[in-house]
Amino acid sequence: MPTQIPHVNYLELGDTPHLVANECTACGARFFDRRNACANCFGTDFRKAAVATEGVLKAFTIVAFAAPGVPVPFVAGIVDCGGTSVRGNVINVDPTPDKVSLGMKVRLATYSLGTDDDGVEAIGFGFEPAA
Amino acid sequence: MANDDIWILGIAMTKFGKHSDKDIVDLGAEAVMAALTDAGVSMRDIGVLAAGNLMGGGGFGQMLQKQVGQTGIPVYNVTNACATGATALRTAIMAVKAGEVKFGLAVGAEKLAGAGLLGGGGSAKKDGNKWEPKGRFGSVAPTDGRIGTDTMPGTFAQVGMEYGHKYGGVSFELFARISEKNHAHSTLNPMAAYQKQFTLDEIMNDMMIAYPNTRPMCSANCDGAAAAVVCSGETLKTLSLEQQRRAIKVSASVLTTDPYQESCQVLPDVNTLTRNAAKIAYEQAGVSPSDLDLVELHDCFATAELVHYDNLMLCAEGGAVDFFNSGATWRTGSTPVNVSGGLESKGHPIAATGIANIWEICHHLRNEAGNRQIENAKVGLAHVIGLGSACGIHILERSGL
């Protein structure tokens, strides 16, 4: 029985947590979910590819109003991780326009989502300021 | 007029707003009957019905026929997110173009007043007592709010901010000024859900929804419907001079989807498909952006309007901020944008939007827009985006008769 489980299957835990994409062997397009064929070139052969853990915040919003059960405010963003765009929250930062800016350097960070009845801890990821 | 040209013979919209005493069929029927009257034809003449409704339970077109005339014609029930109305119109146009019918009817109707936040699930999501991977990402817990946001205001906020990252110059205040423009425009539009002018301070200090979009910078959920009757030039020639005079030429009718882009799996790309549709539309119509007397574009959020100045090539690439700051998109400017008040103030009853924005353009081209008339308007463009994504663009020209 594992003691930890990732929030999503494209988060690889271990000593150096990182994201893993399905990369098209023909054109290099990367996808976090499974694809029957590549959306870019229709190739059907994919390999696993590690995504860089450091990147640049290229878009963000500070969500103040969300679905019931979603804690607010939080910073949602898009991070350019060495050419692969990743969706994630900006964490370990005050969710205010003063503290979050376009182009800021961030790095992948993990945190606990809690432990279930079997004692398994779910681990989530976000991006924290790397300056 | 050429035989194979497509013309809008009649078009109508209901007032947008809260219609608590009407259902979607009532609203659709009101728009259809007004459009038929405007066209000077009856349901007996109509050969095809394309009926758009997104949030209802399906079968809208047939329900509508029971209220306006059951003639046995084919119905296409259309959904295509916020591009539903434009898709319905395009469906009717394709049937006329194919030569299958003389007159096509398109309608879009939606009940959305009080719908609240869209795109964020809408109901409480409970985490279980055991982590079990589910869905395409094998997620053990909901991802909305933990891995970015699913909400529409947050998604389109990022669209605007991404433009800022690429080209610079964006700020909370800039986006708020776009909203200030559209709310100011709406004060002249009696069909708008809201006709209230806001000061910049009021907009910036209103309830924050998803930075930098405050509440008045978001599209207004409301009820409404719009409908249009289309025919070919060959058919129009057989009609009265008055019908020919008021008919509006559809110089371009284009629908695109989002082609693959590197980041489209994490943030919907509303740019490439709009630019692609615009290029095709300008070529089809033989007009350039500088020929446009007015534009109704998909300002589902203030942050979205900015990027579409660029996508529709109303300005130089990367120049949307300077273009807006020049005053070009105010109704007094060189390229008036959203003189109806746009989705932020006129409102956004989803399936109606893609026909109502065409109604607005036609209204000006027919010189019937009253005190919000853009003087001597000859050519206009209407644009919608449905997330997922679909883009509809129509370029419209007055008959010149």
Question: Tens digits of per-residue pLDDT, B367-386?
Answer: 999 999 999 999 999 999 99
Which pLDDT belongs to residue B117? 79
Chain B nearest CA to A23, separation (Å): 12
Which pLDDT belongs to residue B118? 79
Residue ranges covered by each domain of chain A: 4-129
Assess contact for A61 and B148: CB atoms under 8 A: no
Residues of A in contact with B115 (CB under 8 A): none
Nearest to B210 among A7, A61, A125 (CB): A61
pLDDT in tens, A10-22: 999 999 999 999 9
Which pLDDT belongs to residue B122? 45
Average pLDDT over chain B, rounded to an integer? 96
Residue ranges covered by each domain of chain B: 6-114+220-398
Residues of B in contact with A84 (CB under 8 A): 262
With bands split at pLDDT 50, 70 and 90, how would you rate the model's confidence at A40? Answer: very high
Distance of alpha carbon B160 from alpha carbon B163, whole angstroms: 5
Query: B208 phi and psi, to 5 degrees?
Result: -75, 130
Residues 82-141 of B with CB under 8 A from A: 117, 120-131, 133, 136-141
- Put simply, whether A43 touches B (Cβ < 8 Å) is no
| Stretch among A1-15, A79-93, B247-261 having the lowest mean pLDDT | A1-15
Which pLDDT belongs to residue B115? 82
**Overall residue count recorded for chain B in this entry:** 401
Ranges of chain B with pLDDT below 50:
122-125
Please compute the mean of the pLDDT values over residues A107-130 and round it to a whole number.
96
Which pLDDT belongs to residue B125? 44
pLDDT at A125 over 70: yes
Which pTM was predicted? 0.96
DSSP annotation string for B300-315: SBHHHHHHHHHHTTSS
Residues of B in contact with A60 (CB under 8 A): 158, 161
Assess contact for B230 and B7: CB atoms under 8 A: yes
Tokens, residue B155: 């998604």
B6-114+220-398 adopts what CATH topology? Peroxisomal Thiolase; Chain A, domain 1 (3.40.47)
ipTM of the complex model = 0.96
Which pLDDT belongs to residue B262? 96
